[in-house]
Amino acid sequence: MRAAGSALVTFAGREGGAVAARLGESLLAVARHAGVEVTATCGERGRCRSCRVKILEGQVPPATLQDEIQLGRDGVREHFRLACLTKVIGNCSVMVAPPRSEAGHQILGGGAWTGAEATPLDSGVEKHVVTAKAASGSSDPTSDAEAIAAALGETRHCDFPLDILRRIPSVLRADGGILTVTTFNGEVIDIEPGDTSSRKFGVAFDIGTTTVVGTLIDLSTGEQLASVRAMNPQAIYGGDVLSRIAYAQFDEKKLARLRASVLKTVNDLITEACREAGVAGAEIYKAAIVGNTCMHHIFLGIDPSNVGLAPYNPVVRSPLVAAAAQVLLKAAPRAIVCLLPIVAGFVGADTVAAVLATRLHESDACRLLVDIGTNGEIVLAVKGRLVACSAPAGPTFEGGQVQHGMRAAVGAIEGVDLDDDVSCRVIGDAPAIGICGSGLIDAAARLRDAGFIDASGMMGLPEGNRLSLRLKARFRERAEGSEVVLVGAAGSGNGEDITVTQGDVRQLQLAKAAIHAGIMALKAVMGISNSDLQEVVLAGGFGNYLNVESAIRIGLLPALPAEKISYVGNAALTGAQLALVSEQARNEALAIAQRIDHVELADHPQFEEHFVAALSFAVNDRRELGEEAVCTA
């Protein structure tokens, strides 16, 4: 048996079988420990293709932005990865690339390497190093701005913003007139003395309901220099978007409070990333930001009140571009801030970014994208047509409204096994202090199998003698309702019993039924069944810990073979990164948003029926491929 927090990695062609690896360890480090030679010519920074590998079997780690840039979209779809940046997330089999030659790119046993076009680095940010001279005599009426414009090959100076004009006198007369003018899509956004052409950076952020995640990227190379994250501080005003909308509804002061809290977090994270990478905030010239519609509006200071009221219309859906000063992004004062487009009131820019990252819009296959979180977004692609909906799952999957719930952090139970007794897998191999969403799903599936939970979700002690005495002893009837003890107080990290309660099970039923019913509604709109689905793509941080078999067992995901379900990580952030480094990708996001047909679940004639059926833990009990799952409760 492998230890908790570890996985088995098999290198094709290597004698000796699988090797043990720590979860989160890079494939490059695992290969080197196993004595497998892997070339990494760029110093493990993801700036070359030399360490490329192909995941042949098992759990495929999410692609990074550098995978997209170096290996291309087709390569990523075919499970090629850069070993230096790819983290082990579970058991897998890996084929290492042979040394690269000038003749082409070949992966032994994996067919010909196509050399697919990589993501273009066309961020729109350009630096122009010029030499300009101030007028030398009273007979020369040339202004400083005209002198710089002439050095740039321009005949006009009116394109210089006022804040740039204020800095021109000192910049022009420093460093012998050598200066760097920075533009974004041709518009001047900065001017500096000397040659600073090598310093050009950007940030990408996914502002989620629960977390805020960002990266600092070198716009010249696409290299990720820092990764930062924090909890969204707005959570104290409400665990989901509807709660936050209700808090700030038609109240400017409360809206300002919500906005100030998330702005401080984003600014603090930019400062943290800059400190880590040795970059000045003034060297950040572009920011790409995504989030759901509510988070998008609050970040910009736009009243989201009507998003929470029928017909749930956003104030704006088009992509937006603004100067940092306009949105109060003080940690990156020179940046142009780009926000991706929105589809509808509850299908936001984060969903558009996820489609961009997963290339859902380019596939002729029948593919389903599910981002499970506080606000679950679902997109179904069938032969080029895209339909999407938002399923109000609530905070249960993030540990909210659960007796001992917590986010997926050190000390959280992430997996549960039942045999003669209960054993738990805990993040960080630490004593358990709570249970995260994936752990709750796993626990519910195991308790259902053991008979502690029936199809309706009612908890009770199974009849008969098939359970061990130790398992039976874990069940308790209390005044507040039934519960099962997963970890006793003596073995926990906080001196308390960590339990799954009847209330927890009811919250899980509501959350998983919302997602399942949303999927059913989109399938009905497109006229397809489970047998038509070729791939289910799980996005978001939650999917990283999710046991797919348990998710199917309780009816969260469609009853499909596990090999048809894959995990792509934070696709929303990846999409934001693509929009950051590539204007082509940012423009593509608008085309995607315009193609997506939004399905309002509240108006769907069968949604209530689907939701009620999906409350049952037996909704997936008929698992024959090609047949729709039915409720057998």
Chain position carrying tokens 């090629």: 80
Q: Are residues 329 and 283 in the same domain?
A: yes
Q: What CATH number has the domain bearing residue 609?
A: 3.30.420
pLDDT digits (tens, 9 = 90+) for 224-261: 999 999 989 998 888 778 888 998 999 999 999 999 99
Q: What is the 3-state secondary structure (H, E, C) of 474-495?
A: CEEEECCEEEEEEECHHHCCCC
DSSP string, 147-216: HHHHHTT-S--TTS-HHHHHHHHHHHTSGGGEEEEEEETTEEEEEEES--TT--EEEEEEE-SSEEEEEE
Phi and psi (nearest 5°) for 232? -70, 115
- The answer on pLDDT for 579 being more than 90 is yes
Residue bearing the bigger pLDDT, 137 or 69? 69
Answer yes or no: is 496 within a domain: yes
Coil, helix or strand for 271?
helix
Q: Are residues 438 and 542 in the same domain?
A: no
Distance from the Cα of residue 452 to its chain's centroid: 34
Answer yes or no: is 57 within a domain: yes
What's the pLDDT score for residue 158? 59
Which range (145-154, 198-207, 220-229, 347-356) has the least confidence?
145-154
Coil, helix or strand for 581?
helix
Average pLDDT over residues 389-401: 84
Instruction: Tell me which residue range forms the domain holding 420.
Output: 399-502
Between the CA of residue 539 and those of 234, 350, 381, 546, 551, what are the distances in Å?
23, 11, 15, 11, 14
d(CA 329, CA 284): 11
Q: How confident is the model at residue 631 (pLDDT cuts 50, 70, 90)?
A: very low
Q: Are residues 175 and 159 in the same domain?
A: yes
Q: How confident is the model at residue 607 (pLDDT cuts 50, 70, 90)?
A: confident
Checking phi first, is residue 604 left (phi over 0); if not, alpha (psi -120 to 50) or beta? beta
Answer yes or no: is 217 within a domain: yes
Q: Are residues 571 and 607 in the same domain?
A: yes
What's the pLDDT score for residue 238? 80
Coil, helix or strand for 465?
coil
Q: Are residues 211 and 305 in the same domain?
A: yes
Checking phi first, is residue 629 left (phi over 0); if not, alpha (psi -120 to 50) or beta? beta
pTM for this entry: 0.85
Answer yes or no: is 344 within a domain: no
- Cis peptide bond prior to 311, omega within 30° of 0: yes
pLDDT digits (tens, 9 = 90+) for 423-470: 999 988 899 999 988 899 999 999 999 999 999 999 998 887 678 888
d(CA 450, CA 472): 10
Q: Are residues 311 and 239 in the same domain?
A: yes
Q: What CATH number has the domain bearing residue 303?
A: 3.30.420.480
Residue bearing the bigger pLDDT, 105 or 537? 537
Answer yes or no: is 630 within a domain: no
DSSP structure class, residue 137:
S
Which range (103-117, 122-136, 137-151) has the least confidence?
103-117
Between the CA of residue 354 and those of 322, 325, 364, 605, what are the distances in Å?
22, 28, 17, 28
Task: Tell which residue, 267, 277, 215, has the closest CA to residue 569.
Answer: 215
Residue bearing the bigger pLDDT, 61 or 259? 259
- The answer on pLDDT for 10 being more than 70 is yes
Domain count of the fold of the chain? 5
Answer yes or no: is 540 within a domain: yes
Answer yes or no: is 626 within a domain: no
Task: Tell which residue, 242, 320, 232, has the closest CA to residue 541.
Answer: 232
Q: Are residues 279 and 412 in the same domain?
A: no
**Among 459, 485, 502, residue at a domain's last position:** 502
**Number of Cβ atoms within 10 Å of the Cβ of 417:** 12
What average pLDDT does the chain have?
A: 87
Dmax (CA) for the chain in angstroms is 106
* Strand-by-strand arrangement of the 125-131 sheet: 125-131, 178-184, 187-193
Strands (E), 365-515: 367-371, 376-382, 385-391, 412-418, 422-426, 434-435, 475-478, 481-487, 498-501
Q: Are residues 92 and 168 in the same domain?
A: no
Q: Are residues 247 and 269 in the same domain?
A: yes
Q: Are residues 404 and 363 in the same domain?
A: no
Beta partners for residue 476, in sequence order: 483
Task: Give the containing element (helix H, strand E) for 261.
Answer: helix 252-277
Q: How confident is the model at residue 103 (pLDDT cuts 50, 70, 90)?
A: very low
Answer yes or no: is 533 within a domain: yes
Angle in degrees, CA 358, 414, 240, rounded to 5: 65
d(CA 591, CA 608): 32
- The answer on pLDDT for 142 being more than 80 is yes
DSSP structure class, residue 430:
P
d(CA 335, CA 222): 17
What's the pLDDT score for residue 104? 29
Most confidently modeled range among 34-48, 118-132, 144-158: 118-132
Angle between helices 437-450 and 502-526 (to 10 degrees): 100
d(CA 558, CA 530): 7
- The answer on pLDDT for 323 being more than 70 is yes
Q: Are residues 426 and 411 in the same domain?
A: yes
What's the pLDDT score for residue 395? 81
Contact 53, 27 (CB under 8 A): yes
Q: Is 311 exposed, middle or buried (0-12, 13-18, 19+ CB in 10 A)?
A: exposed
Q: Are residues 63 and 154 in the same domain?
A: no
Residue bearing the bigger pLDDT, 409 or 137? 409
